[in-house]
Amino acid sequence: MEQTYNGMPAGDLPGVPWQKSRRSNPSGNCVELAPLPDGAGFAMRNSRDPEGPALIYTYDEIAAFIAGARDGDFDNLLDRNH
């Protein structure tokens, strides 16, 4: 597999196990996450555009984001009137 980079086509990551959240809805406003084969991080893609660009994150970046979401750090972003 070629070197991964932000914005690379998600289709260039063959065989990665894409996973969608159980909280996804039928309207298709979803992202999918997959571990990279080298174990160094994760790729994220728009579920409506599976061959489109993938965002690449390190393990530590994803862990920090998930911890922040659990702690409520982004709750104010859900207020559409901010």
Q: What is the pLDDT of residues 45-72, one digit of tens each?
A: 998 899 999 999 999 999 999 999 999 9
Is the pLDDT assigned to residue 1 strictly greater than 60?
Answer: no
pTM of the model: 0.81
Q: How many angstroms separate the Cα of 32 from the Cα of each of 8, 48, 56, 64, 80?
A: 15, 10, 12, 18, 23
- Give the rounded distance of the alpha carbon of 11 from its chain centre: 14
* Domain ranges within the chain, ordered by starting residue: 8-20+27-78
Give the separation between CA 60 and CA 12, rounded to whole angstroms.
23
Report the greatest alpha carbon distance in the chain. 44
